[in-house]
Amino acid sequence: MSVSFPPGFLWGTATAAYQIEGAVREGGRTPSIWDTFSHTPGKVENGDTGDVAVDHFHRRADDVRLMSGLGVNAYRFSVSWPRVQPTGRGPAVQRGLDFYRALVDDLLDHGITPVLTLYHWDLPQELETAGGWPERDTAHRFADYARIVADALGDRVERWTTLNEPWCSAFLGYASGVHAPGRTDPVASLRAAHHLNLGHGLAAQALRTALPARGQVSVSINPSAVRARSGTEADLDARRRIDALANRVFTDPMLHGTYPADLLVDTERLTDWSFVHGDDLTVIRHPLDSLGINYYSPTVVSGATDSDGAPERNDGHGGGAHSPWPGAEAVAFHRAPGDVTDMGWPVDPTGLHELLTRYSREAPGLPLVITENGAAYPDKPGADGTVHDPERIRYLHSHLSAVHRAMADGADVRGYFLWSLLDNFEWAYGYGKRFGAVYVDYDTQARIPKSSARWYGELARTGVLPDC
């Protein structure tokens, strides 16, 4: 029996500014934390940087035509904060906004819905030098920036996302240091998590003020489907701890206006959370029009014992000497069974079903959108110049089947965005991991749609899940 999705479902692809744009010194743009991080020796594999990336800044029109040819009806992209507001303060640089004006116009001309993300990890370096996300002022600067972009594009863009994966910004950026800005201070990471939440709430307020009534406000989180390795008390407590740090530290304040009581206890040796002020939680709990879910694989944990030694940390987040889990450093992480992608991430679509049904119960009436889902594989052109990626097609088929099951189980899912449109700069992995539905030859910048791109395009055009 064929699997069909409802009319009006968003079928999109997604990218992030620093991963694709390049042109890092053009049009008044100044360095972001990722420019600084990638130019620091030893931080990114092979010394790769996003200086050129896949040159989307100059190939914008061709890339939009490519999307149109594939048949997708939506495109999720991020705005580069330092391209629009180079120091993170003061007026906008119109040349930077002009790039996004042209991009949005191109998308609309091709019948593609623009879905704009304000922050996908590229904090202006000057704000980081002033303290970054651990400082309260950064949240207010983010709200100012949100208002600038909304004033420029709100007449044409209806779908807005404040933050992408604040967990990564806070805990990979400030606790484990494997992402920019590369700091390893667990207290700073918790402060950053709160100020990212606050920045989300302030930016959402700014968007509501600046946008027409039809404007929709969302946030994209990367919740973990956390599973205990066994039913022991220690393993179940490990699951609780990681669920608080991976999920509830963001969803509880955003959806319910509170921080988890158990998280505050788990981290009390690090901080008293006095950086939470007055009506912060009221601001953070700004009404959303949808919740974005990014999903790649589940998380399996256990409680460490005294005889375990240093706990295993196979959490899929780059290893490193410092833990991204403040207050839960003794928790052990284990790879889930089954096939893995080129990232070493387990392929398990049941985690996506679990998260969609969880948040449909936790926030009834709030539509959900899968804002990222996809897989990296070691793709390369064959002798005939084509790029066949049957593993990715199987991955997408299984995960989209899970989405359909979640919808049948009552989850109100309104769209799916494949990560990613193009092979690109994969953060600390450089150019060694290919997530794109479209292959990019990094020497020539030639684009070659993979088999998965054509498979996904058929789905986008028909709404019927093709065979894999």
Residue among 135, 165, 354, 426 flagged as catalytic: 165
Measured between alpha carbons, how far is residue 313 from residues 176, 193, 240, 307, 430 in Å?
12, 21, 17, 16, 22
Buried b (16+ CB within 10 A) or exposed e, 184-216: bbbebbbbbbbbbbbbbbbbbbbbeebbeeebb
Residue among 128, 372, 391, 426 flagged as catalytic: 372
- Residues 244/253, Cβ–Cβ less than 8 Å: no
Active site residue 126: no
Among candidate residues 130, 404, 2, the one with its CA nearest the CA of residue 139:
130
> What single-letter DSSP state applies at residue 255?
I
- Residues 468/395, Cβ–Cβ less than 8 Å: no
The C-alpha atoms of residue 130 and residue 414 are separated, in whole angstroms, by 39
Determine the 3-state secondary structure of 72 from DSSP. coil
The C-alpha atoms of residue 405 and residue 155 are separated, in whole angstroms, by 36
Q: What angle do CA 159, 21, 456 make, to 5 degrees?
A: 60
- Residues 86/93, Cβ–Cβ less than 8 Å: yes
Buried b (16+ CB within 10 A) or exposed e, 373-391: bbbbbebeeeeeeebebeb
Active site residue 426: no
Catalytic site residues?
165, 372
